[in-house]
Amino acid sequence: MNYLRHVLDHLRKDLRLEWRSRDSINGMLFFALLVVVVFGLAFDPTSYPTTTRQISGGILWVALLFASITALNQSWARELRNQVLEAQRMAPSPASALFLGKAIANMLFVLVVEAVLAPIFIVFFNLHALGNLWLLTLILPLGTWALVVNGTFFAALGLRARNRELLLPLLLLPISLPALLAMVQATTGVLTADLDSIQIGIWIKQLAGYDIIFTTICILLFETVLNAE
Amino acid sequence: MEQHTPTPRNIAWLWFGIAIAVLAVGFREAIFLTPADAAQGDVGRIFYYHVPIAMLCLLFPYLNFAASLAYLFWRRRDPLKALTADAFALASAEVAVVYTSITLLSGMIWGRAAWGIWWAWDPRLTSVLLLWLLYVSYLMLRRFSSTGQSQTLAAVLSVFAAVDVPIVYMSIRWWRTQHPAPVFFGGPGAGMDKSMLPAFFWNLAGWGIWGIFVLLFRFALERRRQLAEQEHALQTIEASLEIPQ
């Protein structure tokens, strides 16, 4: 319970910082919106509803992936100012609590972006989902956590690197590809109703398994990364 | 320093000579002695290079993972051993990238000749491509991260990559098996004719010996770089101690 309190403290701190500046959410939201608009210009989604259903799962996740990458770097760069990170390293609270608090905060930010983006997406792409839309309430959080947990970890890993803005996508994308595959397939399956519910269920289970495995590794290795010198 | 004594150097030369000799025998077997493939003709001979290298490129990531775990274990306990493990991890990652690249390139050439297309998103090709991406990103991290901590960060990333590889493999298998089976999927190897075996095994042995040679060569090089760096650091410290007088 002590551990949980540390996590909540870190989470509260990150939420408060974000509430005061609102940098991450605004940046992500606008970025994701731009990606959606660019794809909309490229494909003319209103004229080809079938194609739109087939590709919009991929577009949605690409937009969210790139948008979250822009925010993940900032979330650690905040800690660098005034040597806050050094203070965190000296603090007696477990290092993984810091990580979990930040990952959960980032998760909440991306979920807010998703909640705003989804209606815009449906309007701009004139999207009529054929499958069971409620499944998206399971797929979206699981997929977001897969991106955010590894993203938060690799953002911390590249924090002191020479060009960390570039390094994060280079590390995050190859590791996340199986998760991306699962979330894009599951989302497309829901939108087009091409996959039956068992197949979508297996993709969701894979995503959940990916989340569990990588959350565990991140928690185990975070202290090593934080004190890597 | 052990690299300067004559014996390891002689062993290295001997090993190099064996690699060249075995590769020469393998070349002769594959190109001249084995009859041409019934279905593919002479194009099928790339099999003797593509398949052994593809099998070997799956070996080096394991070495990298083992060395990275050893590094993480010794990092605080025995820094000198940890440095050795790190040099080995770097060398094996580089050889893994080279072998995976050769697998991909030779596969593309073969695919162009046999299937008519350079690339197909089938399970094996995709998983090897993702393997390549993972280890290229590992080398990128080593290049970009600042000097003091790049070994630790690289070791951590290597653990992630090693965990990711089986997941990639399983998910891609699942992804493609729900689609109809690819039309172009009939390479040899399912049942190998007896006349193909000598060429195959000579090349497998040859490229294995060659890979180990390159790996150890790179390892020795990296060790020398580390030792030179330590020497330099030591001299800097000594010089700084002399100045105050």
CB-based contact B160 A214, cutoff 8 Å:
yes
Confidence of residue B191 (pLDDT cuts 50, 70, 90): low
The pLDDT score that the predictor gives to residue B192 is: 65
Q: What is the mean pLDDT of residues B160-185?
A: 69
By CB atoms closer than 10 A (0-12, 13-18, 19+), residue B186 is: exposed
Chains A–B, number of C-beta pairs less than 8 Å apart = 91
B positions 128-147 inside 8 Å of A (CB): 130, 133-134, 136-137, 140-141, 144-146
The pLDDT score that the predictor gives to residue A120 is: 87
Of B130, B144, B152, the CB nearest to A162: B144
* Chain A residue nearest residue B154, CA to CA: A157
**Chain A positions with Cβ closer than 8 Å to B:** 150, 157-158, 160-163, 166-167, 170-171, 173-175, 177-178, 181-182, 185, 195, 199, 202, 206, 209-210, 213-214, 217, 221, 224-225, 228-229
Task: Determine contact: B177 vs chain A, CB below 8 A.
Answer: no
* Chain B residue nearest residue A154, CA to CA: B157
Q: A25-29, A50-54, A210-214: which has the highest mean pLDDT?
A: A210-214
Alpha-carbon gap: A172 to the closest alpha carbon of chain B (Å): 9
**pTM tops 0.90, yes or no:** no
ipTM: 0.86
Alpha-carbon gap: B174 to the closest alpha carbon of chain A (Å): 9
Q: What is the mean pLDDT of residues A166-190?
A: 90
